[in-house]
Amino acid sequence: ATAKLALLELYPDEHPVTIVRAAGVPGQEQVVTVPLYQLDRQPWIDHLTCAYLPPLPVEQATRTFAALQYILSRLRNPDGGCPWDRAQTHQTLKSSLLEETYEVLAALDDEAPDKLQEELGDLWLQIILHAQIASERDEFTLGEVLHSINSKLLRRHAHVFGDVRLADSAAVLRHWERIKRGEREANGEVGEERSALSGVPAQLPALAYSQAIQERAARLGFDWQELEGVLRVVADELAELQAASTADERRAEFGDVLFALVNAARWLGLDAEEALRLANRRFVRRFQAMEALCRERGLDFVRLSFEEQNALWAEVKKAEQQ
């Protein structure tokens, strides 16, 4: 049964499997071909039994990594490939990579496993496509990508795969920072100008970037000792925002408020980017519910006073909480 379940991850249920028992033994040899899903339903299977599955054409092996690589190589092939796929480059695909990443996040927010399965496939497509383009340009291969990440995971988890002993998550993070410094030195990325914050991609959304650099600084000990201090900073920054008198001052102080709130999110164990994204979704959902109520009641939302609109908002919120 275990072998059958493993094979069903790769082969269709009806794929033929030939079962051979006691091959070449006079009077005992048995040979039968059955669908794969019946592999474990033969009562005479024993230690003298073997099974043969004919290979799948790669186009039919749709559960395999090899099939995706083959399909993309065909699509990129100058001879008979797809004109659109052949025209793509690392640069033209950047927006698609970002879009697919956010669609994965949307599926996670919706807690929709079927949607998540589809979106992870779309994201995987982007990764393999970039690797295919790199291979064509003799930059690197998919195998080198896999070697890099597998080696990194093993190297950075010596407390799992080696003899290192680490007491808790904080110790793991400090250990990672030491390993990363060693990796940078091995790559020649040394010098006084190198900052502990240099490895955080500046292309991240602003809230995510802010949280990442604050987490890096905290790992090095640059952090408050209690949440109360963090919240005092939030209050202080809000007061400075209220006191700001020019546009430049307001922009700077507003940025400081956001930065302090991100630090509070970090202390509370929250992802600031996710928290704001979910707040945006709640607002859109509730606003659309208000619009629906107006249509049901024959009201023109634009003509309502703010107090009337706010009453609708409160009604929608109450309905959500019931």
Give the model confidence (pLDDT) of 266-276 as tens digits. Answer: 999 999 999 99
Mean pLDDT score, 92-120? 94
- Token pair belonging to 296: 């049901």
The per-residue pLDDT for 164 is 82
pLDDT of 308 above 90: yes
Residue 290: Cβ within 10 Å count: 19
Claim to verify: residue 122 and residue 77 sit in the same structural domain: yes
* Residue 293 backbone dihedrals phi, psi, to 5 degrees: -60, -40
Claim to verify: residue 301 and residue 228 sit in the same structural domain: no
The per-residue pLDDT for 193 is 59
Return the minimum-mean-pLDDT range out of 39-43, 198-202, 309-313: 198-202
The per-residue pLDDT for 219 is 86
Claim to verify: residue 72 and residue 135 sit in the same structural domain: yes
Would you say residue 163 lies in a domain? no
Nearest to 209 by CA among 252, 281, 152, 271: 271
pLDDT band at 119 (very low <50, low <70, confident <90, very high): very high
pLDDT digits (tens, 9 = 90+) for 211-239: 999 998 998 889 999 999 999 999 999 99
Claim to verify: residue 151 and residue 218 sit in the same structural domain: no
- Token pair belonging to 59: 């186009």
The per-residue pLDDT for 199 is 77
The residue that leads in pLDDT, 302 or 160, is 302
- Token pair belonging to 235: 């209050």
Nearest to 220 by CA among 238, 202, 187, 195: 195
pLDDT band at 162 (very low <50, low <70, confident <90, very high): confident
pLDDT of 22 above 60: yes
Q: Which domain holds residue 24?
A: 2-52
Claim to verify: residue 214 and residue 145 sit in the same structural domain: no
Mean pLDDT score, 11-30? 91
CATH for 255: 1.10.287.1080
Claim to verify: residue 105 and residue 124 sit in the same structural domain: yes
Q: Of 135, 156, 177, which residue constitutes the final position of a domain?
A: 156
The residue that leads in pLDDT, 89 or 200, is 89
pLDDT band at 190 (very low <50, low <70, confident <90, very high): low
pLDDT of 106 above 80: yes
For the chain, percent of residues with pLDDT exceeding 70 = 98
pLDDT of 194 above 80: no
Would you say residue 237 lies in a domain? yes
Claim to verify: residue 11 and residue 86 sit in the same structural domain: no
The per-residue pLDDT for 224 is 94
Claim to verify: residue 98 and residue 133 sit in the same structural domain: yes
pLDDT band at 173 (very low <50, low <70, confident <90, very high): confident
What's the domain count of the chain?
4
- Token pair belonging to 123: 């994201």
Q: Of 156, 175, 194, which residue constitutes the final position of a domain?
A: 156
Would you say residue 34 lies in a domain? yes
Would you say residue 176 lies in a domain? no
The per-residue pLDDT for 189 is 66
Q: Of 136, 156, 176, which residue constitutes the final position of a domain?
A: 156
pLDDT of 257 above 90: yes
Would you say residue 8 lies in a domain? yes
Claim to verify: residue 266 and residue 278 sit in the same structural domain: no
Nearest to 233 by CA among 208, 265, 276: 265
pLDDT of 251 above 90: yes
Length of the chain: 322
pTM over 0.75: no
Would you say residue 193 lies in a domain? no
Average pLDDT of the chain, as a whole number: 91
CATH for 26: 3.30.950.10
The per-residue pLDDT for 61 is 86
Would you say residue 171 lies in a domain? no
Would you say residue 21 lies in a domain? yes
pLDDT digits (tens, 9 = 90+) for 276-302: 999 999 999 999 999 999 999 999 999
Strand partners, 34: 17
